[in-house]
Amino acid sequence: MTPNVTPLVAGNWKMHGTRASLDQIKAIAEGVKGPLAAKVQSLLCPPATLLYVATALCDDSPLAIGAQDCHETASGAHTGDISAEMIADCFATHVIVGHSERRTDHEESDALVRAKAEIAHRNDLVAIVCIGETEAERKGGRTLDVLKTQLAGSVPDGATAANTVVAYEPVWAIGTGLTPTVADVAEAHAFLRAELARRFAGEGVAMRILYGGSVKPGNAKDLMGIDNVDGALVGGASLKSEDFLAIYRAYEDLTA
């Protein structure tokens, strides 16, 4: 944890979720009510088809709703894409950009991710900028070099602690059940904090850095308690309300 920084527990549903899943969103929205909400923020990013109804369900809840991606331009002939303005129009407040699955499946570059974050900011959305190394890059001893390059290329110059969150997700740990050691996570997050502080001064010191990659109820407390880890970007475990809430409630002890 970083002193004086409010943690964020975010769920990324990826390409999962239909109207039948709304009960899970309702349960999460109810479950994050209470005293812990004053200390820890919560966010759910369902598929775009559920954005509007999800924000309506969370109207009286501290649970924020975000999108999983946006186009880098304001509007135009981009069949199937969703703009930052459309996301904001659904009353969502955040958008994930640069997730490794977008970088891999759609060959998204750092420059494209930066453009998406910039247009998110122009529409008053918080951009969650994802970075992380592959298994080959880690085995080759290139983790910090990769993180430095992606961070520099993907985070806009206008980033602040209020409009930008960085999510470190080692690609080889996403959905595999594999998790870096506490020492590995601590090293990566300390490096990212130093880079953010060097570039953005006080804003970089206060910017949240989430950890993502096989976060589960069983390892959440250990991961969230690491210095410079300011929350989690949760994948599969966010699909079930009881699992997401168990991760969220790991902060009951950490913030006591």
What rounded mean pLDDT belongs to the chain? 96
The span from the CA of 4 to the CA of 1, in Å, is: 9
Structure tokens at 107: 């060959």
Torsion from C-alpha of 231, 52, 49, 38, nearest 10 degrees: 10
The amino acid occupying position 29 is: A
Is the pLDDT at 177 greater than 80? The verdict is: no
What is residue 175's predicted lDDT score, i.e. its pLDDT?
A: 74
Q: Phi first, then psi: what are they for 99, rounded to 5°? A: -60, 150
pTM: 0.96
Average pLDDT score over residue span 142-148 = 96
C-beta neighbour count of 144 within 10 angstroms: 14
Alpha helices in 69-226 (DSSP H): 84-89, 100-105, 110-122, 135-139, 143-154, 182-200, 202-206, 220-224
Q: Which residues contact 80 (CB under 8 A, 6 or more apart)?
A: none
Q: How remote is the C-alpha of 103 from its chain's centroid?
A: 15
Q: Residue 34: pLDDT band by 50, 70, 90 thresholds?
A: very high
Q: Which of 91, 24, 25 is nearest to 63 (CA)?
A: 25
**Residue range 149-168, pLDDT digits in tens:** 999 999 999 999 999 999 99
Pairing state of beta strands 64-67 and 41-45? Answer: parallel
Active-site amino acid positions:
99, 169
Number of Cβ within 10 Å of residue 52's Cβ equals 15
